């Protein structure tokens, strides 16, 4: 009886191992069977599906709204309602998705070595655009007919550089001389060059995103208070230097007491929400996009959503951004190192800050700014840069969940974990759980 039960018990153990491990044993009769690795955990299946689903839904909603906001203008320009949508927007989405997968497939730690060079290139581009950039409405912000804006690259470069610098083992974010002063110099130089274009909204995004990374990296709370006070003083000074910014603030304050005195952009956006009501007037039925809303396919696209899909449709978009924030911070907690964690925090904060600024302007909560809605507004360089950030977040998650042999894991811990006293490595001992280093004194 025991001889007949032995093969059944071994078969049950085999099935249990198949459910728990990758690969199929090829030789059942040996004590240490050889295994054939299956490709189910590689490439696309290794990516974070919740994050991909959120981004995909935002891109679908954005594509629908861009088509709705541009079909009339596209018919007049291209001769067909879908000409602009197909020629420009879908091409931008395809290009951005391709770059997202490129950065997702490459180990994110590979790009750390280029952080300084990218920041230097960005500073050179910000200086160059002031002299040879295209002047539009009195501002020099872009090259190549608006397809490349150094300000948008600066938002990406500052995240990558700060994550590489503050994520280093030898960095001391709480130090005044080695933390606060270098941080203020780097962010101050980039912000100053962006303000010279002028582009106050991009400068604000850079400062807010950098502050979020600096806070998570372990900054001193008094240093953060000093940064806040300094930023407020600079903002008040900017209002005196740039008259158009002062006019926007004055119109915003006047609109708080009397809505009819609000800025034209804000007034038209609120009108779109009032027309849409709870359920909207239907996709393609917006009236405000025909000349009333400035840039309905970029800066004002959230107002078009509110008019055509109603408050409920706008709430769905807001919920997706909330889910993006939650998932981004969850990926930061699962990262293998400080660099990956700060990358996820930085790119998540960057996207959410842009979304908050755009939605706040459309609802009249803050003065008007020229910030697009991430993943939804029409854009070439802006969409590509944001999708590259998503690709790096996917790479952080893929590396964090990748299975490596115990020997490689011990070697990696010995080479990279130098958080002990005198910067010595922590070594794991036999019998420790995978990925946990011995914190002996």
Q: Is residue 407 part of a domain?
A: no
Residue pair 258/245 in contact by the 8 Å Cβ criterion: no
Q: Count of domains in the chain?
A: 1
Which range has the worst mean pLDDT, 51-65, 131-145, 294-308, 343-357?
131-145
CB atoms within 10 A of CB 144: 10
| DSSP string computed for 368-402 | ---PPPTTTS--SHHHHHHHHHHHHHHHHHHHHH-
Label residue 390 by pLDDT band (50, 70, 90): very high
Mean pLDDT over 237-262 rounds to 73
Q: Is residue 117 part of a domain?
A: yes
Residue pair 63/53 in contact by the 8 Å Cβ criterion: no
Peptide bond into 393 cis (omega under 30): no
Tokens of 184: 């203020």
Q: Is residue 438 part of a domain?
A: no
Mean pLDDT over 90-118 rounds to 92
Does 394 have pLDDT greater than 80?
A: yes
pTM of this prediction exceeds 0.85 = no
Tokens of 294: 């400035």
Alpha carbon dihedral 314, 320, 324, 327, in 10-degree steps, equals 150
Domain that holds residue 78: 46-399
Does 433 have pLDDT greater than 60?
A: no
Does 71 have pLDDT greater than 50?
A: yes
Q: Is residue 36 part of a domain?
A: no
Q: Is residue 158 part of a domain?
A: yes
Name the DSSP class of 424: P
Residue pair 364/255 in contact by the 8 Å Cβ criterion: yes
Q: What is the mean pLDDT of the chain?
A: 79
Q: Is residue 226 part of a domain?
A: yes
Mean pLDDT over 397-401 rounds to 88
pLDDT of res. 365: 79
């Amino acid at each position: 009886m025991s001889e007949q039960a032995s093969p059944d018990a071994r078969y049950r153990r085999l099935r249990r191992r198949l459910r728990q491990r990758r690969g199929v044993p090829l030789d059942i009769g040996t004590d240490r069977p050889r295994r054939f690795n299956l490709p189910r955990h590689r490439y696309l299946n290794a990516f974070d599906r919740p994050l991909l689903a959120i981004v995909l839904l935002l891109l679908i909603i954005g594509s629908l709204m861009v088509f709705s906001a541009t079909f009339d203008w596209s018919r007049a320009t291209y001769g067909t309602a879908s000409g602009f949508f197909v020629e420009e927007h879908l091409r931008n989405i395809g290009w951005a998705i391709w770059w997202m997968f490129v950065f997702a497939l490459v180990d994110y730690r590979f790009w750390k070595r280029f952080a300084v060079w990218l920041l230097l290139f960005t500073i050179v581009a910000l200086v160059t655009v002031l002299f040879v950039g295209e002047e539009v409405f009195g501002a020099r912000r872009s090259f190549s007919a608006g397809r490349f804006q150094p300000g948008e690259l600066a938002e990406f470069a500052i995240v990558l550089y700060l994550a590489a610098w503050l994520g280093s083992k030898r960095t001391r974010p709480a130090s005044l001389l080695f933390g606060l002063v270098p941080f203020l110099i780097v962010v101050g130089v980039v912000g100053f060059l962006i303000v010279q274009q002028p582009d106050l909204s991009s400068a604000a995004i850079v400062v807010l995103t950098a502050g979020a990374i600096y806070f998570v990296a372990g900054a001193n709370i008094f240093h953060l208070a000093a940064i806040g006070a300094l930023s407020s003083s600079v903002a008040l000074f900017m209002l005196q230097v740039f008259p158009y910014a002062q006019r926007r603030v004055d119109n915003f304050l006047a609109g708080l007491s009397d809505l009819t005195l609000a800025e034209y952009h804000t007034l038209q956006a609120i009108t779109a929400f009032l027309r849409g009501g709870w359920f909207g007037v239907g996709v393609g039925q917006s009236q405000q996009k025909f000349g009333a809303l400035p840039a309905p396919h970029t800066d004002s696209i959230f107002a078009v959503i509110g008019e055509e899909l109603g408050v409920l449709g706008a709430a769905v978009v807001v919920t997706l951004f909330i889910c993006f924030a939650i998932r981004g911070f969850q990926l930061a907690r699962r990262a293998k190192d400080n660099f990956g964690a700060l990358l996820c925090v930085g790119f998540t904060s960057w996207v959410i800050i842009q979304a908050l600024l755009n939605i706040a302007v459309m609802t009249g909560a803050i003065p008007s700014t020229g910030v697009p809605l991430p993943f939804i507004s029409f854009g070439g360089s802006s969409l590509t840069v944001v999708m590259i950030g998503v690709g790096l977040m996917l790479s952080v998650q893929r590396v964090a969940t990748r299975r490596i042999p115990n020997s490689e894991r011990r070697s990696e811990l010995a080479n990279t974990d130098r958080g002990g006293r005198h910067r010595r490595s922590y070594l794991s001992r036999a019998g420790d759980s995978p990925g946990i280093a011995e914190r002996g004194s």
